[in-house]
Structure formats: C-alpha cells, structure tokens
C-alpha cells in the first residue's frame, strides 16, 4: 500500500499525462472509425436519395412545400449509376456537368412545376356589349389576374362563330427554395431540398437536386466532439510526439527523485 501511495504521489503528473494521451489516441481511433462510418453513410444517403419521392407538407404561410432528398456524390460516380437514374436525374447531372466546366458547382436543382386549375368559376366584373355581342370578364385576385373577352357571344348571323380573346392573364407566384439538413442522426444528416409556391394553382410535380459530396454537416456545422476529432485528425501526430516527450521527461525526473 505504501509503495502504491509513493508511486501515485511521485508520478501523479506522469499518470495524468498518460491518461491524456490515452484519451487522445482513443479519439484518433474514433476518428478513423468515423471515416469508415461516413463512407458507409454516404452510400446509404445516395441510395436513399436515388429512391426518394416527393413529400408534401404545409408551412406556416399556408403554402404547399415539396421536399425531396438531395444527391450527394461526384458527377463521375453518378454517371456510373446511369442505369438506375430517372430521366430527370440524368438531365440534372448533364446540366451540372456542363456548367461545372466554367464554374465550381456547389448545389443545383431541377424543378418541374405546372399550373393546375381543376375548377374555376369567374365571379369578377362582367360587361355585356349588345353592339358587338361581346362579353368581357375581368378580375384581379391573389392568385389570378385575367381580362378575357368573348366575341360574338350572340351572333346576329348563323355563320358567325364566337371568339375568345385573352387580353391579359397572369398568375403571380413566389417560389421559395432551400437546402437544409434533414434531422436524422442515424443516417448522418442527409441534405434535403424544399420548394414552396405562394400560388395555390402552381404544383411542383418533380424535384431533383445535387450537392457536392464534401458538403456534410460534420464539416459545415460540426458539434463539439466533431470539432475535437477534426483537430486531432490534423494534429494527432504532433500531440502524440509532444506528449511522448513529456512522459520521457517525467520518467527521468522520477528516476532522479528515487
């Protein structure tokens, strides 16, 4: 017992340093494991993104939001999976590849939408002109602005056919798009792309997006442990060398004291 107490008393700094080194090397090993884990998660994220379909939700502005996972892989590797890509995904990759020759593409998206009016009853201002047998409909709402004239609605001659003249037709729409981390720790925070339309008549029916594989949460927005792992992965050898020298020095001190 006395020997143990003597050892602990004389070598407490050496023991402390040894503990620190053990933690350092443990974290370095954890970093290596994390790299293999990230490689696996990258494959999982890509597979999930390739098979993902659009989901629709409603945001706080009462707008319909379309979400879909983003493809995170190099263009070269994506081209190797050509047989499992959809036509829209192939189009997206082709566009990214073309513009990437001039610029370094970080993120990109191909959005396909269309105007869908399944029912529309005009209740706006109506003008009936008996002189030329025309009827004019015009109205201005949040989603639809129109000015339409039906000519010869009541033709005086049997051979005359009614005409439809669209003087003005517009559908204002604010489209908001964003890339964000999908909060799913088990799958490594994949990137998700969202698009919302302020006009209820606009329907997003297909989304495909791309992001460089280096765009990962652990690098862009790391937590505390991830910051330590990144620092140790860069400075692990230096820390080990310095710490090793300290232990040698501490051991020499112990021998002199003994």
CA–CA separation, 108 vs 92, rounded Å?
Answer: 8
| 224 Ramachandran zone, left/alpha/beta (phi>0; psi -120 to 50) | alpha
Q: Which H or E run includes 253?
A: helix 224-257
CA–CA separation, 69 vs 48, rounded Å?
Answer: 8
CA–CA separation, 43 vs 187, rounded Å?
Answer: 10
- pLDDT for 258 equals 26
- pLDDT for 15 equals 62
Question: Phi then psi for 190, rounded to 5 degrees?
Answer: -70, 160
- As to burial, measured by CB atoms within 10 angstroms (0-12 exposed, 13-18 middle, 19+ buried), residue 210 is buried
CA–CA separation, 12 vs 18, rounded Å?
Answer: 10
Distances in Å between the Cα of 122 and the Cα atoms of 16, 130, 145, 153 are 81, 21, 11, 17
- pLDDT for 131 equals 84
**Domains of the chain: which residue ranges?**
1-51+222-258, 56-217
Per-residue pLDDT of the chain (258 residues; tens, 9 = 90+): 555 555 555 566 666 666 777 666 667 666 665 665 666 566 778 888 898 999 999 999 999 999 999 999 889 889 988 888 999 999 999 999 988 877 788 899 999 999 988 777 777 788 888 888 888 988 888 888 989 898 888 876 777 788 888 899 899 999 999 999 887 666 678 899 999 999 999 999 999 999 988 887 766 666 565 566 655 566 555 444 444 444 333 333 222 222
């Amino acid at each position: 017992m006395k020997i143990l107490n003597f050892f602990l008393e004389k070598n407490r700094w050496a023991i402390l340093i040894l503990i620190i080194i053990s933690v350092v090397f443990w974290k370095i090993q954890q970093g290596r494991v994390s790299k293999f884990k990230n490689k696996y998660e990258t494959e999982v994220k890509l597979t999930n993104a390739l098979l993902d379909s659009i989901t629709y939700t409603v945001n706080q502005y009462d707008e319909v939001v379309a979400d879909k996972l983003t493809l995170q892989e190099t263009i070269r590797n994506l081209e190797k999976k050509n047989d499992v890509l959809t036509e829209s995904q192939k189009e997206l990759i082709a566009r990214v590849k073309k513009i990437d020759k001039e610029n370094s593409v970080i993120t990109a998206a191909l959005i396909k939408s269309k105007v869908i009016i399944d029912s529309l009853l005009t209740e706006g201002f109506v003008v009936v002109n008996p002189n030329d047998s025309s009827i004019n409909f015009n109205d201005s709402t949040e989603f639809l602005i129109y000015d339409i004239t039906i000519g010869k609605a009541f033709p005086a001659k049997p051979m005359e056919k009614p005409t439809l003249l669209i003087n003005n037709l517009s559908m204002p729409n604010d489209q908001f798009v964003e890339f964000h981390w999908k909060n799913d720790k088990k799958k490594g925070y994949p990137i998700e792309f969202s698009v919302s339309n302020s006009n209820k008549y606009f329907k997003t029916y297909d989304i495909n997006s791309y992001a460089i594989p280096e765009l990962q949460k652990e690098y862009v927005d790391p937590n505390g442990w991830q910051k330590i792992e990144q620092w140790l992965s860069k400075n692990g050898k230096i820390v080990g060398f310095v710490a090793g020298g300290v232990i040698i020095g501490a051991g020499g001190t112990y021998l002199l004291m003994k």
